Amino acid sequence: MPDEALEPGLLIAAPSKGRLREGAISVLERAGLRFRISGRRLFSDCPETGARILFCNVADIPVLVAEGVVDLGITGSDQVEEKGRPVEIHRRLGFGRCRMAVAVHKDAPYRVPSDLSGRVVGAKFVELARAYFVRNNVADVHVLEIQGAVEGMVLLGLVDAIVEIVETGSSLVENDLVEIDQVLSAEAVLIGHPAPRDPEACRRLIRRIDGVLAADRYSLLEYNCPVARIDEARSISPGFSSPTVQPLHDPGWFGVKVMVEKNEIQRVVDALEELGCVAILETELRHARL
């Protein structure tokens, strides 16, 4: 029977292209979904779970989820806010981080948002741009929707400023633009319809994704600790709930396994080494249920 005839379980929308695609595919694969991506095909089935992945434009995903066309979707939080549709934000996924900023030409006389009163501003995210100017009491701003290279429109004289997504800021610099304010920060999010086709399968997948997010946050640290210093070592590396402490063949030492947040690893390792701990090893985690 061809794949097109499969009766799908959960329907999950993932980005078909762009900066969020790779991270979204990685999260789904690490959460246990097995699927193949084939050329320009717009969907892929997961035979083991019955789920179907639909590859869509990130801007369409909030609408597809809100209308119940799909049960879950991965898109940018900026897209969710721009569309303003009623969806549940299940998880912030920690990748695709960026900011939305107001930018002007470096030689322009605009230095604060209020300077743009009565001016033309180009934006892909029209609703967010309008809401920003209303929120900041900047009147008479004409927000012009531009879906192409927004940065170039300032140089062409079409607009006086832009509201655009910024990751590194290099594109602004290359086009002689400077930021004058930040509208919001954004990242990839997992969103869902309040009534999925299979609530239990939906809950199970979200828990699996929790395991992926936990693994991205923690590392497993293993070390040998002198028996006399174990209480101090525990205070340095208390773990998620409690470290695993086991006696070694040499009665003067304990073997310790403990989860440590990645951003604390180097500080913890330094402190344990000063304490006299040895054979300190860090192991990357792929999945963790906490």
pTM of structure: 0.86
pLDDT in tens, 110-119: 999 999 999 9
Q: For the beta carbon of residue 80, count every other beta carbon within 10 angstroms.
A: 20
65 contacts 13 by C-beta, under 8 angstroms: yes
H or E, element range at 224: strand 218-226
Higher per-residue pLDDT: 290 or 65 = 65
**Which amino acid does the sequence have at 5?**
A
Q: Which residues are paired to 87 by β-bridges?
A: none
Given this model, what pLDDT does residue 4 score?
Answer: 41
pLDDT in tens, 117-173: 999 999 999 999 999 999 999 999 999 999 888 888 998 999 999 999 998 889 899
Domain with CATH 3.30.70.120 in the chain: 218-284
Four-CA torsion 156, 160, 182, 129, nearest 10 degrees: -100
CATH number of the structural domain 3-96+188-197 = 3.40.190.10
Q: Going by DSSP bridges, is the β-strand pair 43-46/51-56 parallel, antiparallel, or unpaired?
A: antiparallel
Domain with CATH 3.40.190.10 in the chain: 3-96+188-197, 98-186
- pLDDT of residue 84 exceeding 60, the answer is yes
Asked if CATH classification 3.30.70.120 holds for the domain at 218-284, the reply, yes or no, is yes
Q: Would you identify the CATH topology of the domain 98-186?
A: D-Maltodextrin-Binding Protein; domain 2 (3.40.190)
